Chain A
Amino acid sequence: MTRRADFQAIKPLLADGSMTCTRLAETCLQHINKGAHLNAFIAVFAEQLLEKAAALDRKRARGQAGRLAGMVLGIKDNLAWSEGATTCGSKFLAGYHSPFAATVLQRLAAEDALFIGKTNMDEFAMGSSTEHSAFGPVRHPEDPDRVPGGSSGGSAAAVAAGLCTAALGSDTGGSIRQPASFCGVAGLKPTWGRVSRYGLVAFASSLDQIGPLARSVADCAELLQVIAGHDPADATSADTPVPDYLAGLQRDWKGLRVGLPAEYFQDGLEAPVRAAVAECSALFRSAGAELVPLSLPHTSYAIAAYYIISAAEASANLARFDGARYGRRTPAPANLEEMYLHSRSEGFGAEVKRRIMLGTFVLSSGYYDAQYGKAQRVRTLLQRDFAQAFGTCDLILTPVCPTTAFRLGEKAADPLSMYLSDVYTVSVNMAGLPALALPCGRDRAGLPIGAQLIGPAFSEPLLLAAGHFLEQQLSAPPAGPGAA
Chain B
Amino acid sequence: MNTAFEPVIGLEVHIQLQTRSKIFCGCSTRFGAEANSQVCPVCMGLPGALPVLNRQALEFACRLALATGCRINPVSVFARKNYFYPDLPKGYQISQFEQPFAEAGTMTAATATGDERTLRIRRLHLEDDAGKSIHAEVFVAAGETLLDLNRCGVPLIELVTEPDFHAPAEAVDFLQKLRQLVRYLGICSGNMEEGSLRCDANISLRPAGSTGLGVKTELKNMNSFRHVERALEFEITRQSAALAAGGRIAQQTLLWDPDRGVAEPMRSKEEAHDYRYFPEPDLMPVRIDAAWVEVQRALLPELPEARKRRYESDFGLPAYDAGVLTSEPSLADYFERLVRLVEDKKAASNWVMGEVLRASKARGCPVQELRMTPEYLAGLLQALGQGRIHGRTAKRIFEETLDSGLDPAAAIAREEQAQVTDSAALRALVRQTLAAHPEERDAWLQGKDKLTGFFAGLILQAVQGRADPRSVMALLLDERTAPSREGK
A64-96 residues at the B interface, CB under 8 angstroms? 78-80, 86, 88, 93, 96
Residues of B within 8 A of A325 (CB): 44-45, 86, 89, 147
Identity of the chain A residue whose Cβ is nearest the Cβ of B25 in the assembled complex: A233
Residues of A within 8 A of B284 (CB): 235-236
Query: Pick the contact of B86 from A201, A235, A336 — CB < 8 Å?
Result: A336
Identity of the chain A residue whose Cβ is nearest the Cβ of B274 in the assembled complex: A365
CB pair B84–A364 under 8 Å, yes or no, is no
Query: Pick the contact of B82 from A98, A200, A232, A363 — CB < 8 Å?
Result: A363
Residues of A within 8 A of B276 (CB): 315-316, 360, 363-365, 368
Query: Pick the contact of B92 from A232, A236, A319, A340 — CB < 8 Å?
Result: A319
Residues of A within 8 A of B44 (CB): 325
Question: DSSP class of B's interface residues: helix, strand, loop or mixed?
Answer: loop
Given the known interface contacts A99-B41, A235-B284, A336-B86, the answer about A316 and B91 at a Cβ–Cβ threshold of 8 Å is yes
CB pair A100–B41 under 8 Å, yes or no, is yes
CB pair A316–B47 under 8 Å, yes or no, is no
CB pair B89–A235 under 8 Å, yes or no, is no
Query: Pick the contact of B52 from A88, A204, A233 — CB < 8 Å?
Result: A233
Residues of B within 8 A of A78 (CB): 48
When each residue 11-52 of chain B gets 1 if its CB lies under 8 Å from chain A and 0 otherwise, what string results? 000000000000000000000000000000100111111111
Tell me the complex Cα distance, A236–B78, Å: 13
Given the known interface contacts A99-B46, A100-B46, the answer about A316 and B89 at a Cβ–Cβ threshold of 8 Å is no
CB pair B283–A235 under 8 Å, yes or no, is yes
Query: Pick the contact of B80 from A86, A316, A322, A340 — CB < 8 Å?
Result: A316
Is A355 in the interface zone, CB < 8 Å from B?
no
CB pair A96–B47 under 8 Å, yes or no, is yes
CB pair A363–B278 under 8 Å, yes or no, is yes
Tell me the complex Cα distance, A315–B82, Å: 9
Is B212 in the interface zone, CB < 8 Å from A?
no
Q: How far is the CB of A370 from chain B (nearest CB, A)?
A: 14
When each residue 326-350 of chain A gets 1 if its CB lies under 8 Å from chain B and 0 otherwise, what string results? 1000000000100010000000000
CB pair B48–A316 under 8 Å, yes or no, is no
Residues of B within 8 A of A202 (CB): 47-48, 282
Given the known interface contacts A316-B80, A325-B89, A336-B86, the answer about A205 and B281 at a Cβ–Cβ threshold of 8 Å is yes
CB pair A98–B46 under 8 Å, yes or no, is yes
CB pair B50–A316 under 8 Å, yes or no, is no
Is B90 in the interface zone, CB < 8 Å from A?
yes
Residues of B within 8 A of A199 (CB): 48-49
Identity of the chain B residue whose Cβ is nearest the Cβ of A336 in the assembled complex: B86
Given the known interface contacts A100-B41, A316-B91, A340-B84, the answer about A201 and B278 at a Cβ–Cβ threshold of 8 Å is no
CB pair A98–B282 under 8 Å, yes or no, is no
Given the known interface contacts A313-B281, A320-B91, the answer about A198 and B46 at a Cβ–Cβ threshold of 8 Å is no
When each residue 73-101 of chain B gets 1 if its CB lies under 8 Å from chain A and 0 otherwise, what string results? 00000001010101001111000000000
Residues of B within 8 A of A360 (CB): 276
Is A234 in the interface zone, CB < 8 Å from B?
yes
Is B434 in the interface zone, CB < 8 Å from A?
no
When each residue 386-399 of chain A gets 1 if its CB lies under 8 Å from chain B and 0 otherwise, what string results? 00000000000000
Is B53 in the interface zone, CB < 8 Å from A?
yes
Identity of the chain B residue whose Cβ is nearest the Cβ of A88 in the assembled complex: B47
Given the known interface contacts A233-B52, A236-B284, A363-B276, the answer about A93 and B80 at a Cβ–Cβ threshold of 8 Å is no
Tell me the complex Cα distance, A204–B80, Å: 13
Tell me the complex Cα distance, A448–B435, Å: 126
Residues of B within 8 A of A198 (CB): 48-50
Tell me the complex Cα distance, A80–B84, Å: 24
Tell me the complex Cα distance, A325–B282, Å: 22
Residues of A within 8 A of B84 (CB): 319, 322, 340
Residues of A within 8 A of B277 (CB): 363
Residues of B within 8 A of A217 (CB): none
Query: Pick the contact of A320 from B90, B145, B283 — CB < 8 Å?
Result: B90
CB pair A102–B48 under 8 Å, yes or no, is yes
Query: Pick the contact of A324 from B46, B47, B147, B281 — CB < 8 Å?
Result: B147
Is A140 in the interface zone, CB < 8 Å from B?
no
Identity of the chain B residue whose Cβ is nearest the Cβ of A201 in the assembled complex: B47
Residues of B within 8 A of A182 (CB): none
Tell me the complex Cα distance, A324–B89, Å: 8
Tell me the complex Cα distance, A320–B91, Å: 5
Q: How far is the CB of A366 from chain B (nearest CB, A)?
A: 9
Is A312 in the interface zone, CB < 8 Å from B?
yes
Is A197 in the interface zone, CB < 8 Å from B?
yes
CB pair B86–A236 under 8 Å, yes or no, is no
Tell me the complex Cα distance, A221–B403, Å: 72
Is A306 in the interface zone, CB < 8 Å from B?
no
Q: How far is the CB of A24 from chain B (nearest CB, A)?
A: 29
Tell me the complex Cα distance, A360–B275, Å: 10
CB pair A322–B91 under 8 Å, yes or no, is yes
Residues of A within 8 A of B86 (CB): 322, 324-325, 336
Tell me the complex Cα distance, A202–B283, Å: 14
Residues of A within 8 A of B90 (CB): 319-320
Q: How far is the CB of A319 from chain B (nearest CB, A)?
A: 2
Residues of A within 8 A of B274 (CB): 364-365
Residues of A within 8 A of B278 (CB): 312-313, 316, 363, 368, 372
Residues of B within 8 A of A96 (CB): 47
CB pair A236–B283 under 8 Å, yes or no, is yes
Is A472 in the interface zone, CB < 8 Å from B?
no
Q: How far is the CB of B51 from chain A (nearest CB, A)?
A: 7
Residues of A within 8 A of B47 (CB): 80, 86, 88, 93, 96, 98, 201-202, 320-321
Tell me the complex Cα distance, A200–B46, Å: 11
Residues of B within 8 A of A340 (CB): 84
Query: Pick the contact of A234 from B41, B50, B82 — CB < 8 Å?
Result: B50
Tell me the complex Cα distance, A322–B45, Å: 11
Residues of B within 8 A of A234 (CB): 50, 52
CB pair A232–B50 under 8 Å, yes or no, is no
Identity of the chain A residue whose Cβ is nearest the Cβ of B40 in the assembled complex: A100
When each residue 312-337 of chain B gets 1 if its CB lies under 8 Å from chain A and 0 otherwise, what string results? 00000000000000000000000000
Residues of B within 8 A of A336 (CB): 86, 145
Tell me the complex Cα distance, A236–B50, Å: 9
Tell me the complex Cα distance, A316–B404, Å: 59
CB pair B91–A235 under 8 Å, yes or no, is no
Tell me the complex Cα distance, A235–B281, Å: 10
Is A295 in the interface zone, CB < 8 Å from B?
no
Is A206 in the interface zone, CB < 8 Å from B?
yes
Residues of A within 8 A of B41 (CB): 98-100
Residues of B within 8 A of A372 (CB): 278
Residues of A within 8 A of B51 (CB): 235
Tell me the complex Cα distance, A313–B281, Å: 8
CB pair B282–A235 under 8 Å, yes or no, is yes
CB pair B48–A98 under 8 Å, yes or no, is yes
Tell me the complex Cα distance, A368–B284, Å: 22
When each residue 166-179 of chain B gets 1 if its CB lies under 8 Å from chain A and 0 otherwise, what string results? 00000000000000
Tell me the complex Cα distance, A471–B219, Å: 68
Residues of B within 8 A of A100 (CB): 41, 46, 48-49
When each residue 285-301 of chain A gets 1 if its CB lies under 8 Å from chain B and 0 otherwise, what string results? 00000000000000000
CB pair B46–A235 under 8 Å, yes or no, is no
Residues of B within 8 A of A322 (CB): 84, 86, 91
Tell me the complex Cα distance, A320–B49, Å: 11
Provide 29 A-B residue pairs closer than 8 Å at the C-beta atoms, listed in order of the A residue: A78-B48, A88-B47, A100-B46, A100-B48, A102-B48, A199-B48, A200-B48, A202-B48, A204-B281, A205-B282, A206-B281, A233-B50, A235-B50, A235-B51, A316-B82, A316-B92, A316-B278, A319-B82, A319-B90, A320-B45, A320-B89, A321-B47, A325-B86, A340-B84, A363-B82, A364-B274, A365-B274, A365-B276, A368-B278
Given A319-B82, A320-B47, A364-B274, 5 more A-B residue pairs with CB atoms under 8 Å apart are A102-B48, A234-B50, A236-B283, A236-B284, A364-B276
Could you tell me which A residues sit within 8 Å of B by CB distance? 78-80, 86, 88, 93, 96, 98-100, 102, 197-202, 204-206, 232-236, 312-313, 315-316, 318-322, 324-326, 336, 340, 360, 363-365, 368, 372
A-B pairs, top 7 by smallest CB distance, nearest first, are: A319-B91, A206-B281, A363-B276, A205-B281, A324-B86, A201-B47, A80-B48
